[in-house]
Structure 1
Amino acid sequence: MPAFSYSGRNSAGELVNGSLEGATSSAVADLLFSSGITPLEIKPALAGAKETAEAGASGGFDLFGDRIRHVDVLLFTRQIHTLLKAGIPIMRALAGLQESAVNQAMKKVLGQIRTSLDSGRELSLSMARHPTVFSGFYLSMVRVGEMTGRLEEVFLRLFDHLEFERLMREQVKSALRYPSFVVAAMAVALFVVNIFVIPAFAKVFAGFGAELPLLTRILIGFSNFTVHWWYILIGAIAVAGAAFRGWVATTAGHYEWDRIKLRIPIAGKIIHKATLARFARSFALASRSGVPIIQAMTTVANTMDNAYIADKVERMRDSIERGESLLRASIGAGVFTPVVLQMIAVGEESGALDEMMEEIGGMYQNEVEYELKTLAQQIEPILIVMLGVMVLILALGIFLPIWDLGRVAMHK
């Protein structure tokens, strides 16, 4: 029986790691849930080990078939909410959604969830057998809905949450389309000049037999290196990229890179605000669903796509466990603005913390949307300066020798 290594959180919210033997990763997930541990990651203990066919199916991944996308989960969430609100039993609802599903991978997952429910498992536990389809936050909210009897309401809030995430992704892609095109055009132009233009001028300069300026010699040297040793340059870029990906894959590297991303000009503040908007929306959703604040903090920390801010949220949870208020914990985190801290204080005093967190999420979302709408205008001056510097270097490197030779000829 294969062994799987796992990481998860126990009922106290503490991070636990270990290994278990099981037929598949889904079986290991069942064992962890039964022991009170919410799994965050389950993978083969041996590097390069292959998942079994059952594990691959439960993950919703098919190499040659359909793949489950964010919009598929979004559509499923909305439909299951509508069906449950209409009073249709969960098994009938899943059967109807399975038959009407266009995505074959999603249809397969829904069938496996129905089979799991038939065997006596709860909905959240059945969904947990598909960790690549349903996130930890999604599963936690479904479990809360089961415990409180408000499953259809939880699915509606999850739909709003997923819709918010989809909107953010689309806005980011739209905002980066123009800058990406400009950078790509600059890269192509630099390649053409370096491979074809500079070598042609180098042959002309060689016929003059005169000493060339330093900038020209640098450009010609780099061009010659690119033309004759291009494979070394490509190999160095590939090795650097692989090394960076390997560093980011480590826990320390991932944390440090997420911290650095927040300090990148222009993009850093957008990432920061978008992450805090997700935190506030997730916390409000968990709080409205009746999740205790400590458990809500643990659940929300697991949904953060930035390890640095997730660590801040976990420290906030630890501070609250020690008896501090949410306001003092938020101040200690050092990631919130004074306006947000004031809204948190009002929410705690009035007992409407979930409403205040929803307002904070909306405020951050509006700021992110504004930043994204003006992103092209903010990046444009930087692109113009970069383009100007590139043109200046090329122009000086190519035309300085011609200008010097012309000046010498005039003096003769």
Structure 2
Amino acid sequence: MEILGLIYCLAFFVYFPIAGISSILLARRIKDYGHQAVNPLIKSFWLLFTMIMIFMSLAFLVCYLLLVITHHHSILGSLFLILPVILFFPIPIILEINCYRAASALNKGAEYVLPESLRNLTQKIQALGWISLGTPLMLFVPVLIFAPVAITASLSLIVSLVLFAILFLGFTIIVSLLRIAFVNKKANESELLWLLTVCVEKNIPLATELDTYSKTLSGKYREKIQELSSFLHSGFSLTEALSATPGLVPQSTIVAARIGEKSNSLGIALRDAAVQTTKNLKQLSDRSNIANLILYLSIVVSIQFLITGFIMYWIIPKFKKIFLDFGVELPPLTLSLMDTSDFVISYFYLFLPFCSLPFIVLFLMYFGNYYGWFNLRIPFITEWFPRLNTPHCLRQIAQSVSVEAPPLLALETVSEFHRWSDVRVRTHLINNNINQGENIWIALRQNKVINSAEASLCATAEKMGNLPYVLRTLADTIEQRRARKLRYLTEIIKPVLISLLGIFVGLFVIAIFMPLIKILRDLI
């Protein structure tokens, strides 16, 4: 146990932070100074360092697995011990492999500008680096929550219960405030987009109208609107001003506005964005249901964890001693519970990260909802889900087609200004295919942006002359289908999770009371 705990602590508190910090520094160095004219000694150092880190990660992994195998636990116990390895150890291995790829790409190629593929790789390295650096915090979250309760429980049970109630009441209040802030931000986005739409369509000066609008606001949002207005007064275009003041509107709106400025359809772009933002504002209940489900599970599981931990640590050992003194043979289910209690107490540090997962997922969900998932630089996601950006892509093509501009104009703008580098890379490939004579719908299908049925529908709509309407309807249909699947998934998960919690509580209670029933039966 001691050696296993030592390896676990070294991996979490030494290796993971070093891997995270070094990878973030490498990614920032490439991003800030480029990939050319790098000192060969520095390149050799990075390559050697990443190879050493990969070797250390594999050494940690092998030592950990050997210790688990030689501890002679049951199959279920060994699986529990190996679970942290399966979940967390691949992170630094994948991170260091990507760092090795990035370091190998230094001083290669004739272009001084950072290639899109290397830019995408540095974003992945930064994301994985921050994850690796933040992994040790997963051990501290449950400690910060449960340690005060456990300490006060040894002094007074009532005080510990009051403290636990205060902690979770505060947590619930924070979550509610985050939700209010999220809804308020989305409402501000919708209001601003409608204001910009009316001004552009009616040829009203934007800067003057924004100055008047800012007088009705307060706080940081008022300062941002005034900053946007000052950029417009300075001669910036609308898209340049919006890019210089991030957070006011979604990034997809800025891309659509750039297409509008190039194709003289800015009013159409802003109106489409305003309609879509208002529609999303009305559909916040689906996201709230998921967040409420995770919040409910976090509180219920935490309460169960505290009660179970208290019983296993204080009650079960005394319980076991009493029945052994009476010479009562314990039922198999009770013995299994006691063995599980001893196992959890011996390897409690392995279970701490899993206690943090619901809180981390809840935090990430509110963080992403507040800033907007499409506004964050998230690698991997569109590689795993290439159709994630499909609705935006279809609306942007519809915007160009509606003013009789070529669809390639929209795709070129996306390949240049989209926030996600892998979307830029994929769109650039689509542009190359179209320039080589490929049909646009076939090119989109080959790059997994649309499927075969959608490609056929778009080709037919193009021949019939109602392509903009079909593209916008198709984009809405895809989003509605996703929301419906998410709603179905939530409704399926709810009873399953509640049933699992009920089964766990039932087995726990039965295992506790079966010896008492046996004693009463023997006395009768």
Category of TM-score, reference length = shorter chain: 0.5 to 0.7
Check conservation: 2:257, 2:269, Cα contact below 8 A. yes
SS class of match (1:97): helix
Determine the structure 1 residue equivalent to 2:447. 333
Distance 1:237 1:183 in 2: 11
Does structure 1 residue 104 correspond to structure 2 residue 214?
A: no
- The Cα offsets for residues 119-147 of structure 1, whole Å up to 9 and x where unpaired, read as 33333223322134344433333334344
The alpha-carbon distance between structure 1 residues 136 and 306, as it changes in their structure 2 partners (threshold 3 A), is closer
Give 1:161's aligned residue. 276
CA separation of 1:125 and 1:321: change in aligned 2, threshold 3 A: same
Q: Which residue of 1 aligns with 2:471?
A: 357
Specify the code of the residue in structure 2 equivalent to 1:171: S
Q: Give the aligned partner of residue 504 of structure 2.
A: 390
Matched, 1:120 2:241: no
Which one has a larger percent strand, Structure 1 or Structure 2?
Answer: 1
Equivalent residues of 1:137, 1:303 under 8 A apart: no
Give distance in 1, aligned partners of 2:263 and 2:228: 21
Farther-moved stretch of structure 1 (347-356 vs 294-303): 294-303
Distance 1:171 1:103, change over 3 A: same
SS at match of 1:120: coil
- Residue of 72, 79, 88 corresponding to 2:195: 79
2:290 equivalent to 1:176: yes
Partner of 2:461: 347
Change in 2 beyond 3 A, CA 1:362/1:147: closer
SS for the counterpart of 2:244 is coil
**Which residue, 331, 340, 360 being the options, matches 1:219?**
340
CA contact (8 A) 2:445 2:451 kept: no
Q: What is residue 209 of structure 2 aligned with on the other side?
A: 93
RMSD between superposed Cα atoms in Å: 4.8
| Per-residue deviation, 1:159 | 0.8
Once the two structures are TM-superposed, the CA of residue 204 in structure 1 deviates from its matched residue by: 1.6
TM-score normalized with structure 2 length: 0.52
Q: What does residue range 224-263 of structure 1 map to in structure 2 within 5 Å?
A: 224-225=345-346, 234=352, 255-256=379-380
Kept in 2, the 8 Å contact 1:287–1:296? The answer is no
Change (3 A) 1:174 1:127: closer
Give deviations 1:281-327, integer Å, cap 9, x for gaps.
34434543666423423545789898877765554444334322122
Which amino acid letter does the alignment assign opposite residue 224 of structure 1? I
Deviation of 1:379 after TM superposition, in Å, equals 1.9
CA distance change for structure 1 residues 82 and 158 in 2, over 3 Å: closer, same or farther? same
Q: Which of 357-366 and 378-387 deviates more?
A: 378-387
Q: Which residue of 1 aligns with 2:246?
A: 131
Amino acid in structure 2 at the alignment position of 1:131? P
Gaps (5+ residues) in structure 2? 1-24, 35-112, 114-118, 124-128, 130-180, 365-376
Higher relative contact order (CA 8 A, sep 6+): 2
Partner of 2:165: none
- Equivalent pair of 2:387/2:449 in contact (CA under 8 Å): no
TM-score under structure 1 normalisation? Answer: 0.63
Letter of the aligned partner of 2:281 in structure 1? Answer: R
What's the counterpart of residue 50 of structure 1?
none
CA shift, 1:73, in A, is 2.5
Change (3 A) 1:233 1:369: closer
Q: Distance in 2 between matches of 1:148 and 1:316?
A: 20
Q: For the Cα contact (< 8 Å) 1:178–1:376, is it kept in 2?
A: no
3-state SS, counterpart of residue 215 of structure 2: helix
Name the SS of the counterpart of 1:128 in structure 2. helix
1:297 is matched with which residue? 411
3-state SS of paired residue (2:188): helix
- Answer whether contact 1:344 1:357 (CA < 8 A) is retained: yes
Q: How many residues align?
A: 338
Percent identity, please.
15
Aligned to 1:319: 433
Q: Where do 5+ consecutive residues of structure 1 fail to align?
A: 8-15, 21-34, 48-65, 246-252, 263-271
